[in-house]
Amino acid sequence: MLAYVPLLAAVGLCLALVLPLADRRADLLVTRVALALFGDYVGVDGSRRQRQRDLLYAAHVGGTHREYASRTILYAGVLGVAGSVAGVYAAGALLSALDVGEAAIRETLPAALAFLAGLARLTELGLLELFALLLFASATLGSALAVGTYYGRWEVLNQRAHARAAEIDATLPRTVAFMYALSRSGMAFPRVMDTLAENEDVYGEAATELSVAVRDMNAFGTDALTALQRTARRTPSEDLGDFAENLASVLGTGQSISAFLSDQYELYQEEAESKQQQYLELLSTFAEAYVTALVAGPLFFITILVVIGLVLEDTLPLLRVVVYLAVPLATFGFVVYVDSVTQGVGGTETADRYREDAAEARSDGGVAVNDERAASASATDSWAASRERLRAYDRVRRVRSWITSPVESVLDAPATVFLAAVPLALVGLLVFAFPVTRGPPTEMVAQVDTAVVVATALVLASYAVVYEVRKRRTRRIESAVPDFLDRLASVNEAGTSVVGSVRRVAGSNLEALTTDLERTRRDIDWGADVGTALRRLERRVRSPMTSRAVALITNAMHASGDVGPVLRIAAEEARATWGLRRERRQVMVTYLIVIYISFLVFLGIIASLSVSFIPAIEEAAIPSGAGGDLPGSSTDGMPSGSGGLTDGLGDINAFAYEQLFFHAATVQAICSGLVAGQLGEGSVNDGVKHVVVLLGLTLLTFLVIGLV
């Protein structure tokens, strides 16, 4: 037992680094230990320290440089020591599993490394021999792990900074449009920046980056010029850096901020169109690369291995590696790479970003307040008991909404459909696929694989239906947002108040948005102010474009009742965004068809191998083991022309190859579907419906040829 004490200590060290992820006190303890050990070392000024601080700013990491750098060195040291100890035990376990003896190791290794032969009898080694092995492991595995951990933590920040830069560049045009619209409404520039910071969850990463300057001004009293220049130096986005520098220059020279923002807005609109073209060309390149490398390539390789395996030598192990490991891992890497390269480009955005907690409407007609404010108000409020009952209602409202409106609740969170679909699928498997008759592994798998594929397709189909219903509803609503803003602007410019404008527009036909606008008008009729009614509209619709429109309208109303010009700007921005998305969908349809055709070719060749090639090989192999009167034999005992490569093929496992074909088609269907969603619509969630279609084609094909 004492022989495993170092291993247990190494595992304990690793667990000590994992514990801070779950416990705040453990996190503080690790930070204190790291600062006590390495705080003075990392606090020394230098060019490396400045680069690391800039990287922390760019990645938007909460915490100081001393804290992060000290913890990085601590993690590297602990993992280096733990890796050295674990490496010795892992090497000993591997040699024991492979049954490699000490004598064989001594004969293989040079004399200088002969001490490594002790790994074969690890539990019998003395202290000096163990120390020598530990030194060797520290110099190799431990050092590599420590260096990798140190540079890996900084590389994670570098990648996060690159991702933030892409998000900032993508959201900067709409952020500038928001600032321009508010400045046109007559709002002072400091208030424009404060409003932008309040709505950073709506306008994305660019607003988040500029909100740092706002907090710098409000919390530390920094002037606007210095705060913007500091943001320009720290931001990972070159576009935002230039914008902040130019904005600071405009403020310093006293020029018109509205005119500057107008020029910047038009510039970004023009750049958005050119970036869209570059983005579409990049996607087309990715689509062609995927079809060539991850559809045609594996198909060609599988075909060659099948021919070799059936004619010359068994290749099933290598085929299984290709089908079960290589293709999924390569596809995963491809999807991650495409997502990282195209992140924030092309005007795509998820429908999940909406302001759930910003000025949330309460059942009492007010807005959400914290517990301290509620407690102080209840002390002097004669309606305290009623308000307390309303607060209790608000606490159980989410549960009530699930009970009273399950369909809407599922549409709001499509992933929750798995809570019902997965258990039902498991029950179906137990009913239709079990019990499994014991036998060889391939035969046992064959009894359940079809049922597993069907269950998987049904589970994914349930998610795809909910996801697509929600997405199409959001798309229909967002298509009506530009018209809604245009009509609202026209009515307001005619002299109608904002309240009257909303009522007037709510009575018109705005397609999918009409029903929600009717509810907004009823909210106003029942006494809610326009801001509260519009925020309720936003919460019902839960669309990023609608959230931006509501944020702009509600904030512009505070500056002026004449919001017509502001609404025109918002309508133009919404129409441009919608046009870019529609263009992308139209262009990418071609490449979706290419992916579908490539999969059908893959499926057709796999089916041909199953239906024609394997039976032909089996028929050709029969004469090799038959008597002299069968075709392929000769009267003088010599093989005839039908022998040769087909001699000795009577033992081929055709069933295993056919089963592997079915699995290969299934894996390729899942991979191709996810890639189609990532390339065509910007998310693997959009690829689930393609996965369901391709799995259905796979099941239908193998059902027709009689292999399932």
Q: What is the pLDDT at residue 312? A: 77
Residue 367, classed as helix, strand or coil, is strand
Its pTM stands at 0.76
Is pLDDT above 80 for 126?
no
Residues contacting residue 46 through CB under 8 Å, at least 6 positions apart: none
Is pLDDT above 70 for 390?
yes
87 burial class (0-12, 13-18, 19+ CB within 10 angstroms)?
Answer: buried
CA 300 centroid distance within chain: 31
Per cent of the chain over pLDDT 70 is 80
Confidence of residue 361 (pLDDT cuts 50, 70, 90): very low
* DSSP per-residue codes, 70-114: HHHHHHHHHHHHHHHHHHHHHHHHHHHHHT--HHHHHHHS-GGGG
Over the stretch 677-692, which tens digit does the pLDDT of each residue have?
Answer: 988 888 889 999 999 9
Confidence of residue 506 (pLDDT cuts 50, 70, 90): confident
CA R_g for the chain: 33
Distance between CA 469 and CA 106 in Å, rounded?
67
DSSP 437: P
Over the stretch 413-467, which tens digit does the pLDDT of each residue have?
Answer: 888 888 888 999 899 888 887 777 787 877 888 888 888 999 999 999 999 999 9
Q: What is the pLDDT at residue 626? A: 46
Distance between CA 135 and CA 127 in Å, rounded?
12
Alpha-helical segments (H) within 185-204? 189-198, 200-203
Mean pLDDT of all residues in 684-702 = 93
Domain ranges of the chain: 2-162, 171-274, 278-348+580-704, 390-420+452-577
Nearest Cα residue to 566 out of 501, 516, 511, 632:
501
Q: What is the pLDDT at residue 344? A: 57
Instruction: Tell which phi-psi region holds residue 70, choosing left (phi > 0), alpha (psi between -120 and 50) or beta.
Output: alpha
Is pLDDT above 60 for 42?
yes
Q: What is the pLDDT at residue 349? A: 56
Q: What is the pLDDT at residue 548? A: 86
Over the stretch 289-326, which tens digit does the pLDDT of each residue have?
Answer: 888 888 888 888 888 888 888 777 778 888 899 999 99
Confidence of residue 352 (pLDDT cuts 50, 70, 90): very low
Q: What is the pLDDT at residue 355? A: 45
Question: Which residue's entry shows tokens 């291995």?
Answer: 305
Mean pLDDT of all residues in 139-163 = 84
Nearest Cα residue to 231 out of 196, 181, 279, 282:
196
339 burial class (0-12, 13-18, 19+ CB within 10 angstroms)?
Answer: middle
Q: What is the pLDDT at residue 369? A: 45
